[in-house]
A and B are shown apart, each in its own frame.
Chain A
Amino acid sequence: MPASAQQQVIVSINAVSKSYRRGNQPIPVLEGISFEIVRGEFLALMGPSGSGKSTLLNLIAGIDNVDSGSIVIDGIDIATLNESELARWRAAHVGFIFQFYNLIPVLTAFENVELPLLLTSLSRTERREHVEAALAVVSLSDRLEHYPSQLSGGQQQRVAIARAIVTDPTILVADEPTGDLDRVSAGEILGLMERLNAEQGKTIIMVTHDPRAAEKAHIIRHLEKGLLTDVSP
C-alpha cells in the first residue's frame, strides 16, 4: 500500500448501534461500534453467527440504517442520506460481492456486468469497453455471452466481482464471498480479491467465517454479540 494512502481514512464508523425488533422487543445487534478503515485496506470481519458482522457490512454498504451513531465514507455521512440519495451513492461508491453471487439468471455475463453502468451516463460503446475490461480482470473474456447457468460457481463469482468493480467504486463489500465455493474456487476468488487490493488499490471489506479467507486480509476485526472484541493486524 502506498504511504500516502495509508493515512487516508476512507470509512469512519462512530459509535454505531443497531437493533432489530421482534414483536415489541428490541434485539440489539450492534452496540457502540467505532473504528476506521483507510483507503486501500483489505479488512475482514469475523465472528460467530449472529454476532452482527453482516449487519455491520450492510450499514457500511448503505443498505441498512443505523439506529444511532454515524458512518462517514469518503467524507459523506451516509446516515443522513435519504433512500433515493443512498441509492445514487451506492451506485457510485459501493461494489457488492455476495455469497450466492446473485447474478441475474436471464442475463449473460456481459449483461450482468453491464447492469450497474446503466445508471451512469456512459454511452453504449463506453459501457462495452468498461465491461470487457472488467471481465478481462477476472479472466472471463471468453465467457461474455454465457448465462450464469452455463458457468461454474467460481466463474459466477468472478462475474459478480467484475460487476462489483466495473463502476470503479470507492469500496468493495463482500459477504462470505467464498462461502458457496469449493476450496479451489475459493482460493481463486481470494487470490483475485487480493490482486484487486494490491494492484488496483481497492478498499475491500469482507465478512467471512473462513479463517483461510481472513488470512488474506490486512486487518481482521472480530465481532461478538454486537461488540468489537479484538483487533489483529
Chain B
Amino acid sequence: MFLLKLLSRNAFRHVLRTLLTILGITVAILAFGLLQTVVSAWYAGANASSSARLISRNAISLVFSLPISYRDRIRSIEGVAAVSYANWFGGVYVTEKNFFPSFAIEPGSYLELYPEFVLAPDEKQAFLLDRKGCVIGRKLAERFGWKVGDTIPLKGTIFPGTWEFVVRGIYSGAEKSTDENQFFFQWEYLNESLKKTVARRADQTGVYIIGLKNPQNAAEVALAVDSTFKNSLAETLTETEKAFQLSFVSMTEAIVVAIRIVSFVVIIIIMVVVANTMAMTARERIGEYAIFKAMGFQAHHIAGMVFGESLFITTMGGCLGILLTFPVARKFGEVMGNFFPVFQVDRSTIYMDLLFCLIVGIVAGIFPTWRAVRIKVADGLRRIG
C-alpha cells in the first residue's frame, strides 16, 4: 500500500511530463489496437469460414465460370451433403462509391449452407417466391436506409445494364464475425436475363459451395470433385472455404505485413519515449535512491520503485488506450464499412496491448533501475545540495 502510494505520487511529480508520456502510450496502444484490428478485419472472411464447406471454382481462374450442369454430378460424389452455387455480380448502387458485395445465388440451398445469415422465416419465404427479390445484410440496410419492400436498382459492372431488385428480407449475422454488408439475389433472375441478352454466358456459375457430411473428409472430397472434372473444358479447383478466402488475402499480403510492421514500430517508438522519461526520472532521483539505501533499503526495493513507477505510467497509458480502442474502432468500422465489413477488436488484440504495456514498462525501467541500484550511497548523497 505504502509502495503504491509512493509510486503514484512519484509518477506525478512532474505532472506535465507524466501526462505527456501517458498520452504518448495511450496513442501508441490505440494505434497498435486499430492496426491489429485492421489486420484481423483483413482475415475476417477466412476466420468466419466454415470447415464443413468447400468451394469449387474454375481451375484456370476465378474469372472463368463453371457450367451449371456440374451441380448434379458434384451432389452425387461420396461425402457431399449439399451443393449450392453463387455468382459474383459486382453491381454498384448509383455510383461506384457505393460499392458492396453482391451475389447471384441459388437461394434455397445457399441459405441452408450458410446458417450464419439469419433471416426471418416469412422473409425467407418471400425471397424464395420472388425471382426479382433480394436479401441484404443489416448493416447494408442501415447504410442506405433500405427497408423490406424497397426497390433497389443496381448497375451491373460484369453483367451490363440496370437491374432492379425488391428487398424481401434483411438478414443479421449469427456471429459477430458474420459479414452483414452483403447483397443476395436469385441466380435464376440473372440467368434468365442472360439467356435473352448474352446466351453464351447463361447456365454458368462462378463457384460451387459444397456442404460436407464430415469436415474431416474435406481433402478426399475436394480431390474427388476435381478428379470428376479432370480433362473437361472447365476443370475445377476445389479447396476449403478458408483456403479460398485466404487466396484473396494473399493477394494483398504485402499490405498486411506492412501494417503489422508499422504497429510494432509504434510500440518500439513509445518504448524509447518511456525509457527516456524513466531515465530522466532516475537521474533526477539518484540522491533520493541513495537516501533510501542509506536507511537500509536494498537493491530490490529500489528496483521495485523504479520498475513500479515505469509500470504504473505504462499501465495508465495502456488502460486508457485500450478503453479508447473500442469506441474509435467502432467509429472507424462505420466509416470504413465498405472495406472492412467486419471490424471488431479481438480479445487477442487486448491481450497483446496488455502484454506490450508490461514489456514497455519493464524494458523502459531496466536502464534507470540499473543506474539506481548501482549508485554508491556516498556518491549519491554527494549529488544532493
Q: Is the CB of A216 closer than 8 A to any CB of chain B?
A: no
Residue from B9, B287, B378, B385 in contact with A64 in the complex, judged by beta carbons closer than 8 Å: B378
Q: Are B298 and A107 in contact, CB atoms less than 8 angstroms apart? A: no
Q: Is the CB of A102 closer than 8 A to any CB of chain B?
A: yes
Q: Are B6 and A107 in contact, CB atoms less than 8 angstroms apart? A: yes
Proximity bits, B268-298, A CB within 8 Å = 1, else 0: 0000000000000000000110011111111
Q: Are A96 and B6 in contact, CB atoms less than 8 angstroms apart? A: no
Residues of B within 8 A of A55 (CB): 378
Q: Are A90 and B384 in contact, CB atoms less than 8 angstroms apart? A: no
Q: Is the CB of B13 closer than 8 A to any CB of chain A?
A: yes
Within 8 A of B (CB), among A52-81: 55, 58, 61, 63-64
Residues of A within 8 A of B297 (CB): 87, 91, 119
Proximity bits, A103-124, B CB within 8 Å = 1, else 0: 0111100010011101100000
Question: Smallest distance from the beta carbon of A93 to chain B beta carbons, Å?
Answer: 9
Residues of A within 8 A of B10 (CB): 106
Give complex CA distance A163, B296 in Å.
13
Residues of B within 8 A of A102 (CB): 287-288, 291, 381, 384
Question: Smallest distance from the beta carbon of B304 to chain A beta carbons, Å?
Answer: 12
Q: Are A63 and B9 in contact, CB atoms less than 8 angstroms apart? A: no
Q: Is the CB of A227 closer than 8 A to any CB of chain B?
A: no
Q: Are A119 and B13 in contact, CB atoms less than 8 angstroms apart? A: no
Give complex CA distance A124, B2 in Å.
11
Q: Are A91 and B296 in contact, CB atoms less than 8 angstroms apart? A: yes
Question: Smallest distance from the beta carbon of A37 to chain B beta carbons, Å?
Answer: 20
Proximity bits, A137-159, B CB within 8 Å = 1, else 0: 00000000000000000000000
Question: Smallest distance from the beta carbon of B295 to chain A beta carbons, Å?
Answer: 5
Q: Is the CB of B376 closer than 8 A to any CB of chain A?
A: yes
Proximity bits, B1-19, A CB within 8 Å = 1, else 0: 0100110011001000000
Residues of B within 8 A of A107 (CB): 6, 9
Q: Are A87 and B296 in contact, CB atoms less than 8 angstroms apart? A: yes
Q: Is the CB of B259 closer than 8 A to any CB of chain A?
A: no
Within 8 A of B (CB), among A78-94: 83-84, 87-92, 94
Q: Are A98 and B288 in contact, CB atoms less than 8 angstroms apart? A: no
Within 8 A of A (CB), among B1-55: 2, 5-6, 9-10, 13
What is the interface size of chain B, counting residues whose CB is below 8 A from a CB of the partner?
23
Give complex CA distance A200, B252 in Å.
81
**Chain B CB within 10 A, most for which of A84, A87, A88, A104:** A87
* Given A64-B376, A106-B6, A107-B9; A115-B295 close (CB under 8 Å): yes
Residues of A within 8 A of B2 (CB): 111, 114, 118
Residue from B9, B296, B381 in contact with A90 in the complex, judged by beta carbons closer than 8 Å: B296
Residues of A within 8 A of B359 (CB): none
**Chain A CB within 10 A, most for which of B6, B288, B294, B385:** B294
Question: Smallest distance from the beta carbon of A113 to chain B beta carbons, Å?
Answer: 11
Residue from A58, A104, A118 in contact with B288 in the complex, judged by beta carbons closer than 8 Å: A104
Proximity bits, B366-384, A CB within 8 Å = 1, else 0: 0000000000111001001
Residues of B within 8 A of A90 (CB): 294-296
Q: Which residue of A lies closest to B12 (CB)?
A: A106
Residues of B within 8 A of A58 (CB): 377-378
* Given A98-B381, A107-B9, A118-B2; A63-B294 close (CB under 8 Å): yes
Residues of B within 8 A of A100 (CB): 384-385
Residue from A64, A106, A111, A116 in contact with B295 in the complex, judged by beta carbons closer than 8 Å: A116
Give complex CA distance A102, B287 in Å.
9
Q: Are A96 and B294 in contact, CB atoms less than 8 angstroms apart? A: yes
Residues of B within 8 A of A61 (CB): 294
Question: Smallest distance from the beta carbon of A121 to chain B beta carbons, Å?
Answer: 13
Q: Are B291 and A87 in contact, CB atoms less than 8 angstroms apart? A: no
Proximity bits, A149-184, B CB within 8 Å = 1, else 0: 000000000000001000000000000000010000
Q: Is the CB of A99 closer than 8 A to any CB of chain B?
A: yes
Other than the given A102-B291, A118-B2, 16 more pairs (CB < 8 A) read: A58-B378, A63-B377, A84-B298, A87-B297, A90-B295, A91-B295, A91-B297, A98-B291, A98-B381, A100-B384, A105-B13, A111-B2, A114-B2, A116-B295, A119-B297, A180-B385
**Interface set of B (CB-CB < 8 Å, partner A):** 2, 5-6, 9-10, 13, 287-288, 291-299, 376-378, 381, 384-385
Please, could you name 21 A-B residue pairs with CB atoms under 8 Å apart, sorted by A? A58-B378, A63-B376, A63-B381, A64-B376, A64-B377, A64-B378, A90-B294, A91-B295, A98-B384, A99-B385, A100-B384, A102-B291, A102-B384, A105-B13, A106-B10, A106-B13, A107-B9, A111-B5, A114-B2, A115-B295, A180-B385
Question: Which 7 pairs show the lowest CB-CB distances between chains A and B?
Answer: A91-B296, A106-B9, A63-B377, A64-B378, A90-B296, A102-B291, A87-B298
